[in-house]
Every structure is written in structure tokens, then in C-alpha cells.
């Protein structure tokens, strides 16, 4: 892991086309601004991990359960 110190308005460049700027520092919170190509997916770690857990759960679900779920979702009120 690389640890780099930055001050407000200082930036990092990743892979030549992703820029991360320290936008604000308030107490223990840091706000980052990220400039990246539109095809680059940027997620907070907790959302990424939740998505991975959901993907794993969906792979382990029985087909009949998924079919029932799809039928329930497609029914119009």
C-alpha cells in the first residue's frame, strides 16, 4: 500500500487519466473530488463490498427462488 500526504487542493494522478483532488478537510473528514473517464467505475468501498456479497448470494440462490422473485417483480399492481 502506498501512503501519500496531501493538503487541500493538492492532487494525485493515477494511470495518467484519473485525478483525485483533496477538496476539503474538516476535522477527521476529507472530501475528495475525482476526475476520471466515464467508463471508470468509482464506488465507496462499502458499496463495492455489498455488491460483491449480493453477487455471491445470487450465484448461490436456487433457480426456483430466482424465478419466483422475477415473477413477483414483474407483476403489475
Q: What is the pLDDT of residue 13?
A: 97
Higher pLDDT, 18 or 59: 18
Q: What is the pLDDT of residue 76?
A: 62
User: Predicted confidence band at 77 (pLDDT cuts at 50, 70, 90)?
Assistant: low
User: What is the C-alpha separation between 38 and 11, in angstroms, rounded?
Assistant: 19
Rounded to whole angstroms, the maximal C-alpha distance in the chain is: 54
Is the pLDDT confidence value at 75 over 90? no
Condensed to tens digits (0 to 9), the pLDDT of residues 32-72 reads 999 999 999 999 999 999 989 888 887 776 777 778 888 88
Amino acid at each position: 500500500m502506498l501512503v501519500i500526504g496531501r493538503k487541500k487542493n493538492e492532487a494525485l494522478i493515477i494511470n495518467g487519466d484519473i485525478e483525485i483532488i483533496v477538496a476539503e478537510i474538516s476535522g477527521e473528514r476529507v472530501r475528495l473530488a475525482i476526475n476520471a473517464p466515464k467508463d471508470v467505475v468509482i464506488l465507496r468501498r462499502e458499496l463495492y463490498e455489498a455488491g460483491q456479497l449480493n453477487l455471491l448470494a445470487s450465484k448461490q440462490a436456487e433457480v426456483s427462488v430466482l424465478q419466483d422473485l422475477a415473477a413477483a417483480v414483474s407483476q403489475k399492481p
